[in-house]
Amino acid sequence: MTKTKIVLLSIIVALSGSGTFLFAENPEQPKIISIAKDSAPAKKIEELNLDVLADWNGKLYIVAGPQDMVHLQKERIPYTLQTVPLTPARGQNAFSGGGVNGAYHTYQELEADMLALQQKYPNIAQVFPLGESLEKRKIYALKISDNVAFEEDEPEVLFLGCHHAREWISVEVPFLMGKYLAENYASDPEVKRIVDQSEIWIVPLVNPDGLEYTLHVYRYWRKNRRDNGQGNFGVDINRNYGYKWGIDNEGSSPSPASEVYRGTAAFSEPEARAVRDLFLRKNFQAMISFHSFSQVILYPWGYTKVPSDKNAQMREIAAEMSSRIQAVAGRVYQYGQSNGPAMYPTNGDTTDWAFGTSGTPSYTIELPPIDELGGGFFNRLEDIEPIFRENLPAMVYLIDYSIANYQPAIHNPYDLGAFLFKKIDKPDTRY
Ligand code: 0X9
Ligand code: CA
Ligand code: ZN
């Protein structure tokens, strides 16, 4: 896997009907272009830090903003605008089904579904706003536990979704986990056992502004919606966390136009702060941050190739999660250190920060498909449930692991015993 993996997706889908909808006539909107790989030395192309969707048939397919086009022109690298609409392969069209996003959640739909769970299962599900996005949407957490209104001395586990706006499936998997636990608590003794013994925190939508932007403006948007000035938007929330933030320009970029722009300072972005503040008030024993795509399970470090002092332990857990996933439907998720062989460095990512500050085993799971030709950021509506189902035993395993290896905090200055977030009952009014 190369650095370009960050943004690999199906060319076929990229050029499909949704594309025509997405690249409506706004010149500020990024466009999909292609450049012939032999039109410039690879090094030059690399330096331009382009958002490469796919490397296919001698060409690089790129999401290019106005700035990128200027750079390409300066470097005299010819490019072609991709405007030809093709039919989506194998019916992989996220826009089929109900509404603009079918069974995928919008911000508003997710909020409504989270509140509905709380209402239906008041003893085990509660919704808390952790903070607000730049555009003032709420970043919600769903807590699942017995005696949910109380902070009990139980191991806590964290599941995050959608740091990256276009990775829609990463909203669904953690949300469906919360739903599954709530709905099966009364009937399934295994579910009851883990819910009784732990406190499960789920933040399915870390980047609500970005998600809404992918729905209404541009399907391939990745970052949040920070106005960086000079026509550049967005900070990569998964480069904004404060552990080894910005230590080099390979694992993140100082350039506001880049898809991996790290922001002006560690935790400059309210979305990353919302996760940070939850994390610091709790004593998480393990966490997973869901992304897509490529079917891999990654653990720190991302900032260096040097293995962490808990490499063996995190590797064992990853191996176990991988084999449990594979047992469901045969799909293989590779696993390894984030910055391991065939991977790429990142600095300021969620799991480096979580692990670096707490020593908690922390995972990035890149959900299916495995590659761009398998659909990239587009999973069919019918695939949402099976993808959740295959990840379920991995999540259950991590909860079980946390219960078995619980290390109560000796002294957590943030945990005052009382609950610090205020439960919310009514939907937000602003979307
Ligand atoms: O680059 C990222 O932020 C994550 N991949 S994605 O394609 N969803 O953007 C991966 C983060 C894990 N860290 C490393 N691979 N170093
Ligand atoms: Ca409890
Ligand atoms: Zn991602």
The preferred substitution site among 238, 240, 247, 365 for testing ligand 1, maximizing ligand atoms within 8 Å of CB, is 238
Cβ–ligand 1 contact at 6 (below 6 Å): yes
Domain 3-88, CATH among 3.30.70, 3.30.450, 3.40.50, 1.20.120: 3.30.70
Q: Copy the structure tokens of residue 63.
A: 């999401």
pLDDT tens, residue by residue, 30-67: 777 888 888 888 888 888 888 777 666 678 878 888 88
SS (H, E, C) 97-110: CCCCCCCCCCHHHH
Q: Which residues lie closer than 8 Å to 351 by C-beta, 6 or more apart?
A: 287, 289, 298, 299, 300, 302, 338, 362, 363, 364
pLDDT at 90 over 80: no
CA of 343, closest atom in ligand 1: 15
Q: Where are the domains of the chain?
A: 3-88, 107-419
**Prediction pTM value:** 0.81
CA torsion angle 387 389 390 396 (round to 10): 130
Cβ–ligand 1 contact at 166 (below 6 Å): no
How many other C-beta atoms are found inside a 10 Å radius of the C-beta of residue 426? 7
CA torsion angle 314 318 324 328 (round to 10): 150
Give CA separation, 72 vs 26, 31, 270, in Å: 20, 13, 33
Q: What does the alpha-carbon distance between residue 275 and residue 205 come to, in Å, rounded to a whole number?
A: 11
Q: What does the alpha-carbon distance between residue 267 and residue 243 come to, in Å, rounded to a whole number?
A: 10
E-strand ranges in 265-361 read 284-292, 296-299, 334-337
266 with 245: CB under 8 angstroms? yes
pLDDT at 73 over 80: yes
Nearest CA to ligand 1 atom 15: 338
What is the band of 87 on the pLDDT scale with cuts at 50, 70, 90? very low
CA of 8, closest atom in ligand 1: 7
What is the band of 12 on the pLDDT scale with cuts at 50, 70, 90? very low
The CATH superfamily assigned to 107-419 is: Zn peptidases (3.40.630.10)
How many other C-beta atoms are found inside a 10 Å radius of the C-beta of residue 244? 21
Cβ–ligand 1 contact at 343 (below 6 Å): yes
Q: Is the dihedral of CA 117, 148, 178, 423 positive or negative?
A: positive
pLDDT at 18 over 90: no
* Mean pLDDT across the chain: 87
CA torsion angle 341 345 350 355 (round to 10): 60
The preferred substitution site among 63, 248, 346 for testing ligand 1, maximizing ligand atoms within 8 Å of CB, is 346
pLDDT tens, residue by residue, 95-138: 434 456 889 999 999 999 999 999 999 999 999 999 999 999 99
pLDDT tens, residue by residue, 207-224: 999 999 999 999 999 999
More confident of the two residues 301 and 46: 301
What is the band of 426 on the pLDDT scale with cuts at 50, 70, 90? confident
